[in-house]
Structure 1
Amino acid sequence: MGSLFGGYVDVRASLRVVGSVLKRIALAPLFPALVAIYYGESPLPFLAMFAVTAGIGVGLERLHPRTEIDHRETFLVVSLTWLVVPLVGTIPYLIAGQGTVADPVNALFESMSGFTTTGATVLGEISFDRHTRSILLWRQFTQWLGGMGLLVLMIAVLPELSVGGAQLMNEESPGLSIEKLTPRIRESAKVLWKIYLGFTLAAAALYYALHLAGLAPNMNLYNAVAHALTTLPTGGFSPEARSAEAFSPAAQWAIILFMIVAGTNFALYWYALRGSPERFVGNKEFRSYLGAMGVVGLLLAGLLFAGVGLGVVPTSVATIPGHTERALRHGLFQSVAVVTTTGYASMDFNTWDQSTQVILLFAMFLGGSAGSAAGSVKIVRWYVVQQTVARELFTTVHPEAVRPVRLSDAPIDEDTIRSVIVFVMTFLALFVASTVLVFLDGLRTGLDLSALEAASVAIATLGNVGPGFGLVGPMNSFLPFSDAAKLYMVVLMWIGRLEVLSVLVIFTPSFWRR
């Protein structure tokens, strides 16, 4: 086998697979190119990306005749794919030369934030005066492409990736592992993408239907499509400067619905379609997911009802028409948006007091379900941690007892428990280190960052959440940070999307040698 650094990883075979992915991803910018033509804008930025990406893909494919990859090469393929695709995704921004993303570092930040569905932005001004409709739609489309997984899509369309496809999907997809829904992994990938596409179309249809019914005046066809493209991948980019605040209460309730859908394990939808909807009721992860959003949402709603962040006097809130609905809607909206890591905002929660922001910071660590498009730690991992702690407390009192950790009545093997604990500890360690580094860089460059703001930057990028607090609040951007800080955040978004360990492992000496 070919090797690098005297090791046992066939780099050329890995690059060949990355080339195959790039050759197909090259078709993606043709969609915004057609949008550009429709609106009378130049399609050149997207045609240039098509040509460059296809050329690189073809070139990499010719490096090696071998298409099969082994266990180690899977990690390299996944990591390189999720690094190279955002790199070529900068081409439309750079060629269009519009606004702050004409700068290479900003373009890379925006592209990585898009494909990893983070939703953090460095656009100084989000408007059609500064950016063309096609460029803003490309920004939305990058999130949709990354939501279900670039390699899951490629496995669905490339027969040669069926060999080793299961591990590729597991290393790329959020959560403990992805369920094999059909006997063939390629068919499982197709199933997931069909469900994902179906919900995207349903979201666009509902959003636009509300507009046609006069219930969502600003949700025109462009906005309906644009927001459907970033709701289902839990991305949160919006062509509106004020995010979901630009839309009516009816539209915001509809967005809440589809954010919940997007943060749910997509395998449950498959079982429901196959005649087993009871899986939703019996799934402990799903119940915990709904419970977490409900508790956080009601806490926020209660504080907002008391006047926190809504600009009202606490003693007079009960007399304001619609105040209860407004408090409930904003509380639930931000709870769902943060837990699912979608990152939309129904209002500027920078105006809320610190108690609500601390609750939101806590919620940023939860994440949605495994097998969904959501980021961060994931509800299922916290459930396993809680059950493991409960077991240790029990066996401390009863040392002879045998008490397996269970998930939906099925025992979890010890290797899985160990990997969950390692992931959570590594994630938290990276969060703490990144908080310190961001805070120190702020001191170096003269940014007036509080500890809470620095912590929110770290979790917003590592957890692919999107907005944070203060300087990086939902109506602000990450633009004021130094280039060095933004490049570090790019790395955080990259390793966060790939569940941390899948990337870090390729930087260990043992990965490259026996």
Structure 2
Amino acid sequence: MATVVDWRVSVGLVGSVFKYLSIPLVLPLAVALLYGDDPWPFLATIAVALALGSALERLRGDRELGHREAFLLVSLTWLAVPVLGTMPYLIARVGTVAHPVNALFESMSGFTTTGATLLGDISVEKHGHAMLLWRQLTQWLGGMGILVLMVAILPELSVGGARLISEESPGVSVDKLRPKIQETARILWLIYIGFTVAATVVYYGLHHLGLADNMGLYNAVAHALTTLPTGGFSPEARSIEAFSPAVQWAVIAFMIVAGTNFALFWYALIGRPEKLFRNSEFRSYLGTMVAVSALVAGLLFSGLGLATAPEAVGPIPGHLETAVRQGVFQVVAIVTTTGYASMDFNTWDSTAQVVLLFAMFLGGSAGSAAGSIKIIRWYAVERSILRELFTTVHPEAVRPVRTASGVIDEQTLRGVITFILVFIGIFAISTVLLLIEGATNPEIGGLSTLEAMSATIATLGNVGPGFGIVGPMDSYLDFSTPAKLYMIGLMWIGRLEVLSVLVVFTPNYWR
């Protein structure tokens, strides 16, 4: 049968993405000049992005983007952009990311907002202000969606823009805020930018108030760039543990914002705040975090959640504010898949860690920057189970699954269940593979089941840190090259919600 996918359209539009990617590269270039860092990694990457982008654009010609080409464009973009993003690391040739696979791992983790790292030494003294800012910026670009940005900029994507946003944006569906999809994309990015600026002002403001000595302008910008995309990269080796309690509470607030459907903020801005508070998913999102946070905070306050002596982890047992702050911070960071850490939760006992592992499967809201399965899917499953229980007793009843936004149709429910089954299946297979990796890799010396499970969901769900050797204060550096490549693949398909990538590998897609 004849091939029905015109790959030249998709590849040509990837070229357009490359050209526009040269614009944000100006920011780390400017920082390099300001701090006296080497500017050539960024100058060379800008030149390659422009040249390669212009060459690829010629493949497209006047061809239109169709339904199948949209799938290919989304998959190719999220593979090609991280590859291009490795160039500054490889040209600088500093530290562990001088190795091509390590550079690709770090770049993929950045653009997919995973936050898993294998930098052996996270410090501006070694990598420079500009390189670490590029690392932060990759997460900010990936948070709201690269193709959502392209739809907002490029008029030629207005026709297929709804399909692109649907396949790229995490969640079941995307609210169309305006009649034109291009206007919707612009609104989402403006809200995203607005909250990023607000986070920068708040973080830096705490510094001026004397509540955060080391939260200078550079750190304020760097952390705002990775809070709103739920990324988790930090130029500080100890993540948010390096900052004061005031900063940690501020980060909690912005992580909650980042895990919320950004469309709901638009309704609040135009005078319809009831859309936010009546939203079933939003209420479930907040309720889940409150319940899990209370459980973890209770374990820490009582001392039952700690595996080491209190003096090794600081004054937590019996100290209410500290226990609540640490419990809330880590639960919010995990549920929203931000991946920041306010302490090393490797010092927690297995009970508290299992609770965090459970939280890794929850995810934030649809239409947010969060990863993993998403609260809306779990809500739909819960309502579907309740319906089945009801119709078992009342077989003649017709009871649709409803949310505050309306009825969830049966096709969407099937899609939700299919996604969760595929996600759990990949998780199970990948956990076994990582257990084999741990048993055969002398650098690791064996992985516990909890460590393997956490490494899998941390990459597939774009969460970032796990337990043990991949804990919040450690890295993925000791894994073998094949294991790193496999986890790069997990981050890639996880960011695009698995099915959008897998469909490209089916024979029927090409015929």
* TM-score range relative to shorter protein: over 0.9
Q: Tell me which of 152, 159, 178 is aligned to 1:156.
A: 152
Of 374, 384, 387, which residue of structure 2 is paired with 1:388?
A: 384
In structure 2, the partner of 1:278 is 274
Q: 2:239 aligns with which of 243, 259, 263?
A: 243
Q: 1:299-343: CA deviations, max 9, x gaps?
A: 110001012338439xx98996xx110000000000100000000
- Could you tell me whether the CA contact under 8 Å between 1:16 and 1:67 is conserved in 2? no
Larger mean Cα displacement after TM superposition, 105-114 or 395-404 = 395-404
Aligned to 2:6: 10
Deviation at 1:66, TM superposition (A): 2.5
CA contact (8 A) 1:305 1:317 kept: no
2:44 is aligned with what amino acid? A
Matched, 1:471 2:480: no
State the distance in 2 between where 1:12 and 1:273 align.
41
SS of the aligned residue for 2:126 comes to coil
How has the CA–CA distance of structure 1 residues 319 and 22 changed in structure 2, closer, same or farther, with 3 Å as cutoff? Answer: closer
- Asked whether the equivalents of residues 17 and 67 of structure 1 are also in contact (C-alpha less than 8 Å), the reply is no
Question: 1:20-99 counterparts in 2 under 5 A?
Answer: 20-99=16-95
- Are 2:316 and 2:322, in contact at CA under 8 Å, matched by a contact in 1? no
- Is residue 445 of structure 1 aligned with residue 441 of structure 2? yes
SS in 1 for 2:474: coil
Distance (whole Å) between structure 2 residues aligned to residue 268 and residue 339 of structure 1: 19
Counterpart residue number, 2:497: 499
Task: Output the CA distance in 2 between the equivalents of 1:442 and 1:284.
Answer: 41
Structure 1 pair 103–297 and aligned structure 2 pair: CA distance change class (3 A): same
In the alignment, is residue 190 of structure 1 matched against residue 164 of structure 2?
no
Deviations along 1:159-205, one digit per CA (max 9) or x if unpaired, are 11111000000000000111110111101000000000000000000
The 5 Å alignment of 1:90-489 reads 90-307=86-303, 308-309=305-306, 311-312=309-310, 323-408=319-404, 410-446=406-442, 447=444, 448-489=446-487
Tell whether the 8 Å contact from 2:300 to 2:316 is kept in structure 1 after alignment.
no
Larger mean CA deviation between 81-90 and 409-418 belongs to 409-418
**Which amino acid in 2 is paired with 1:93?**
Y
Alignment partners' CA distance in 2, 1:170 and 1:57: 24
Measure, in 2, the Cα distance between the counterparts of 1:234 and 1:317. Answer: 28
1:132 and 1:290, CA in 2 relative to 1: closer, same or farther beyond 3 A? same
Question: What SS does structure 2 have at the residue aligned with 1:129?
Answer: helix
Note the alpha carbon deviations across 1:235-270, whole angstroms, 9 max, x for none.
Answer: 000000000000000000000000000000000000
For residue 367 of structure 1, give the secondary structure of its aligned residue in structure 2.
Answer: coil
1:126-159 CA distance string (max 9 Å, x none): 0122211100000000000000000000111111
CA distance in 2, matches of 1:299, 1:276: 34
Per-residue CA deviations over 1:57-109 (Å, capped at 9, x if unaligned) read: 11111113124211111000000000000000000000011100000000000
State the AA in 2 paired with 1:476: D
Is the 2:211–2:246 contact (alpha carbons within 8 Å) kept by the matching residues of 1?
yes
Contiguous gaps of at least 5 residues in structure 1: none
* CA spacing shift, 1:405–1:212, aligned 2, 3 Å: same
Distance change >3 Å, CA 46–CA 318, structure 1 → 2: closer
Residue pair 1:67, 1:160 contacting (<8 A) in 2 also: no
Q: Is the 8 A contact 1:441 1:485 kept in 2?
A: yes
Could you list the structure 1 runs, at least 4 aligned residues long, displaced by more than 6 angstroms after superposition.
Answer: 316-319
- SS in structure 1 of the partner of residue 497 of structure 2: coil
Q: Structure 2: how far apart are the matches of 1:278 and 1:318?
A: 38
TM-score relative to the length of structure 1: 0.97
Please say if residues 152 and 182 of structure 2, whose CA atoms lie closer than 8 Å, have aligned partners that are also in contact: yes
Report how far residue 6 of structure 1 moved. Answer: 3.5
Give me the whole-angstrom Cα distance separating, in 2, the residues matched to 1:482 and 1:78. 28
Shift of 1:481: 0.1
TM-score with structure 2 setting the length: 0.97
Q: Distance in 1 between matches of 2:209 and 2:126?
A: 30
Cα drift, residue 20 of structure 1: 1.1
Q: Does the CA-based 8 Å contact 2:310-2:317 persist in structure 1?
A: no
TM-aligned CA distance change 1:118 to 1:293, over 3 Å:
same
| 2:203 and 2:215 in contact (8 A); partners too | yes
1:390-425 Cα distance to aligned partner (Å, 9 max, x none): 111221222111110111161111110010000010
Q: Secondary structure, in 3 states, of the residue corresponding to 2:310?
A: coil
**Is the contact made by 2:151 and 2:185 (CA closer than 8 Å) also made in structure 1?**
yes
Q: How far, CA to CA, are the matches of 1:64 and 1:503 in structure 2?
A: 22
Structure 2 unaligned blocks of 5 or more = none
